Amino acid sequence: MASPPPASAPAVAPYHPPPSYPPPASQTPQVTDGRAAAAMVFAILGLLFGIPLGLPGMIGGTLAYFLGKSARTRIAESNGTLGGQNAANVGRIVGIIAFAVGSLITLLWLIVIFNALIDLPAGQ
């Protein structure tokens, strides 16, 4: 009886090393847009001063909203060179809250002042 022919090794493709990739491009850090930072500052100050006084919250909230809106537009148009998208959004949202709180506190102060003026005796 004849023995089976010896099995030959399967054909293997020659080894090719993976292609060399260029080093990652160095990215310059994004600079936060100044208007985004200013929006956050005005929003926080508007909220802090709006709680006891009212009117500063309305002014600071309005400034924060429009500065944040402007900063978002500038950041979107900068093609990645400007950062601060989150700061601009937070400034807008807290600005809306500061305006609402300032409006309510101003209304309460007006009610208190007019109530005090109405309750004055007639001789004064």
pLDDT at 53: 92
pLDDT at 16: 77
Distance CA 71, CA 39 (A): 8
What is the Cα–Cα distance from 55 to 50, expressed in whole angstroms?
A: 6
Interatomic CA distance for residues 42 and 71, integer angstroms: 13
Range of the domain at 67: 32-118
More confident residue, 22 or 50: 50
Q: Flag whether 102 is in a domain.
A: yes
Average the pLDDT over 71-91 and give the result. 93
Whether residue 105 is contained in a domain is answered as yes
Please provide residue 83's backbone torsions phi and psi, each rounded to the nearest 5 degrees.
Answer: -115, -175
Residue 46 placed within a domain: yes
User: Is 79 a residue whose pLDDT tops 90?
Assistant: no
Distance CA 21, CA 48 (A): 53
- More confident position, 22 or 45: 45
pLDDT at 80 over 90: no
Residue 65 lies in a domain: yes
Structural domain total, the chain: 1
What was the pLDDT predicted at 24?
A: 72
As a whole number, mean pLDDT of residues 29-41 equals 92
pLDDT confidence of residue 48:
96
> What is the spatial distance between Cα 31 and Cα 117, in angstroms, rounded to a whole number?
53
Task: Identify whether the C-beta of residue 40 lies closer than 8 Å to the C-beta of residue 64.
Answer: yes
